[in-house]
Chain A
Amino acid sequence: MTTAAAAAEVNARSIRRIALSHKLSRWDVRFSPYLYISPFFLVFGVMGLFPLLYTAWVSVHDWNLIGGQGDFVGLENFVTVLTQGYFWNSLRNTFSIFLLSSIPQVLIALGIAAVLDFNLRGKTFWRMGVLLPYVVAPVAVALIFNDLFGDKYGLINSGIMSLGLEPIRWHVDVIPSHIAIATMVNFRWTGYNALIFLAAMQAVPRDYYEAAIIDGANRWRTFRSITLPLLRPIIIFVILTSTIGGLQIFDEARMFDNVGQGGASRQWQTLTLYIYELGWNQRNFGRASAVAWLLFLIIILIAVINFLITRRIAGTADRKLRVRPKGMK
């Protein structure tokens, strides 16, 4: 009798244990995925999204770097910033540097990729060589090019003068300073983008080329009529990512002289440099936030325009792609 009772007791306990472990296991299956993805949402929420949205709140207040939050001032910070010439100046500089870096960069990267796409000896060597600048920090790149672009004794001006031409005042004139800064950006990223394009080129089925060559097309013709249309999505991708980064350019412009405000008359002051100046030199967090928020809106606007254009181009590229291989002569 006692043994039977004890057995029943043991049985009941083990049933309970199994039930509990079932429950735990069900919870495990149900909640673990959320647990695993939660670090991203936590970090993005607290350190990314919240500060970005809170920028709007700071921008409608008097807010000092040291003193902290002051009165609500409505749109006063925006009005002040928009009526000061510096905002428009830095907006113009940002776009100018961005265009001078992104357009040549994409074109040169495409050219380099096309050359790397040949059946080369020592492929890895050439590819690595193209990528070398990527491991040099933008700050270091800026310091090196600062010397090369020196107004008086710089290597580039020495070259120009040895041709009997007038030296260029890289650190004085507006467009030359933009060219110098864009060169730094291009130096670091052109090879990287060339490798992205190269990967896409190598994904093009080789029969397309053979068919075209049988039909008498030369290398340039196949590049224009087969490679480029097929590469369009990846080109758009590169332009999109370089837009988001390019409009926030800071490092190279900050390091172009030792003062870091974008030149004596703000010739190369970009929007992020302007944000820095307002926030950390003038200690006016309210105005700095106003500019940050404006830049945010500009980036969103451009992203939307990009998206609309991309959708149209991607559509036509698809159509062309379906026609090209067959219809090519």
Chain B
Amino acid sequence: MSKTIIGGHDRRPSLWVYGILIAVLLGSAFPIWWSFLIGSQDASALNQNGMMWIPGGNFIANALTVIDSIPFWTALGNSIIVSTVVSLSVVMFSTLAGYAFAKLKFRGREGLLIFVIATMAVPTQLGIVPLFIVMSRLGWTGSLWAVIAPAMVTAFGVFWMTQYLRDALPDELIEAVRMDGASMIRSFWHIGLPAARPAAAMLALFTFIGTWTNFFWPFIVLGPGNPTLPVALQQLQAAFYVDYSLVLAGVVLSIIPLILVFIFLGKQLVAGIMQGAVKG
């Protein structure tokens, strides 16, 4: 039986709603479009003619100048390495811990889980001075390890996987495997990990984006010769602050990878945020 629709939430909305949405969409896309618009101009043309609304033909030339003047390929490679390693590590350790918190019985479980959740509110970023001292003692300043090591597992990741595995993995399944004589790690590997896959993929995606866009700590601990992309962008700004066509060409180069990720996985990102909101 179909519900009587009086109006409100099931009715198709009127045109002005789409008008608002188009305005919002322009607001989110316009600055990105603008970076390409300026990044494709010739600097002198920009100064003479003022505003231009059509992309110029200079993007490739600008991009080549950018690649020559900052260690672009190093930065791109570093960003890929750091983001990939951190995502894999966060997923691995968070799933392992989430499995323990959700499905294994041990003394202190509740208390330890509350502790993990509470640490999400601790501004550990403020420990940068001693963290820097630790890294220089280890001889890690300037090396990617200094960026990877502190990010290898997060409280959010542990919490997220715990929440997911609690509902997604039936206890009977683990018991059955244990009865067959599987060790703890085998039962994690064969039952826990496969069950965690959807949430793990989501966690990997968000961790990747978060690590890719991170600036503060890499900027402090990595040297100018071995930057990640955001750190390289800062160098670009310092070098060419008067020539915005070059700076924004660099911006375009740096945002292409995640824009591609967004095109292919944007739907999953939306789903991930909305799921997280309902659960958290």
| A contact set with B: CB distance below 8 Å | 25, 28-30, 32-34, 36-37, 39-40, 43-44, 46-55, 57-58, 112, 115-121, 124, 126-141, 143-145, 147-148, 150, 153, 155, 158, 187, 191-192, 195-200, 202-203, 206, 209-210, 213-214, 219, 222, 234, 237, 240, 244, 247-248, 250-251, 254-255, 257-258, 260, 272, 275-276, 279-280, 285, 288-289, 292-293, 295-296, 299, 303
Inter-subunit contact B209/A134 (CB<8 Å): yes
Inter-subunit contact B259/A34 (CB<8 Å): no
Known: A40-B97, A292-B126. 17 other contacts (CB 8 A): A34-B100, A36-B97, A37-B96, A39-B152, A40-B155, A44-B119, A118-B9, A119-B12, A121-B12, A129-B21, A136-B32, A138-B215, A187-B27, A198-B274, A244-B123, A250-B215, A254-B219
Inter-chain contacts of B238 with A (CB < 8 A): 258
Query: Quick one: given A285-B133, A292-B128, are A258 and B237 in contact (CB under 8 Å)?
Result: yes
| B:1-45 near A, CB below 8 Å | 3, 6-13, 17-18, 20-21, 24-25, 27-29, 31-32, 34-35, 38
Inter-subunit contact B258/A136 (CB<8 Å): yes
B262 at the interface (CB under 8 A from A): yes
In the assembled complex, the Cα of A68 lies from the Cα of B149 at a distance in Å of 23
A107 to chain B, nearest CB (A): 14
B83 to chain A, nearest CB (A): 11
Inter-subunit contact B112/A37 (CB<8 Å): yes
B46 nearest CB neighbor, chain A only: A153
In the assembled complex, the Cα of A191 lies from the Cα of B24 at a distance in Å of 9
Inter-chain contacts of B275 with A (CB < 8 A): 199
Inter-subunit contact B104/A199 (CB<8 Å): no
| B:105-124 near A, CB below 8 Å | 105-106, 109, 112, 116, 119, 121-124
Inter-chain contacts of B38 with A (CB < 8 A): 147
Query: Quick one: given A54-B130, A55-B130, A137-B255, are A144 and B96 in contact (CB under 8 Å)?
Result: no
Inter-subunit contact A140/B127 (CB<8 Å): no
In the assembled complex, the Cα of A116 lies from the Cα of B18 at a distance in Å of 10
Contact residue range for chain B? 35 or more
Inter-chain contacts of A214 with B (CB < 8 A): 6
Inter-chain contacts of A119 with B (CB < 8 A): 9-13
B63 at the interface (CB under 8 A from A): no
Query: Can you list 16 A-B pairs, Cβ within 8 angstroms, ordered by A?
Result: A33-B100, A53-B127, A54-B127, A55-B127, A55-B129, A115-B24, A119-B12, A130-B24, A131-B28, A135-B258, A140-B233, A196-B274, A196-B277, A219-B8, A248-B125, A299-B123
Inter-chain contacts of B9 with A (CB < 8 A): 117-119, 206, 209
A288 nearest CB neighbor, chain B only: B129
Inter-chain contacts of B35 with A (CB < 8 A): 140, 143-144
Q: How many A-B residue pairs have CB under 8 A?
A: 299
Inter-subunit contact A213/B7 (CB<8 Å): yes
In the assembled complex, the Cα of A52 lies from the Cα of B50 at a distance in Å of 49
B251 at the interface (CB under 8 A from A): yes
| B contact set with A: CB distance below 8 Å | 3, 6-13, 17-18, 20-21, 24-25, 27-29, 31-32, 34-35, 38, 50-51, 93-94, 96-97, 99-101, 104-106, 109, 112, 116, 119, 121-134, 149-150, 152-153, 155, 158, 183-185, 188, 209, 212-213, 215-216, 219-220, 229-230, 233-234, 237-238, 241, 244, 247-248, 250-251, 254-255, 258-259, 261-262, 266-267, 269-270, 273-278, 280
Inter-subunit contact B112/A29 (CB<8 Å): no
Inter-chain contacts of B134 with A (CB < 8 A): 46-47, 50-51
A247 to chain B, nearest CB (A): 8
A174 to chain B, nearest CB (A): 21
In the assembled complex, the Cα of A210 lies from the Cα of B9 at a distance in Å of 8
In the assembled complex, the Cα of A49 lies from the Cα of B118 at a distance in Å of 12
Inter-chain contacts of B116 with A (CB < 8 A): 40
Inter-chain contacts of A299 with B (CB < 8 A): 123, 126
In the assembled complex, the Cα of A58 lies from the Cα of B12 at a distance in Å of 62
Inter-chain contacts of A247 with B (CB < 8 A): 123
Inter-subunit contact A126/B259 (CB<8 Å): no
Inter-chain contacts of B7 with A (CB < 8 A): 213
Inter-subunit contact A49/B258 (CB<8 Å): no
Inter-subunit contact A199/B254 (CB<8 Å): no
B89 nearest CB neighbor, chain A only: A39
Inter-subunit contact A200/B241 (CB<8 Å): no
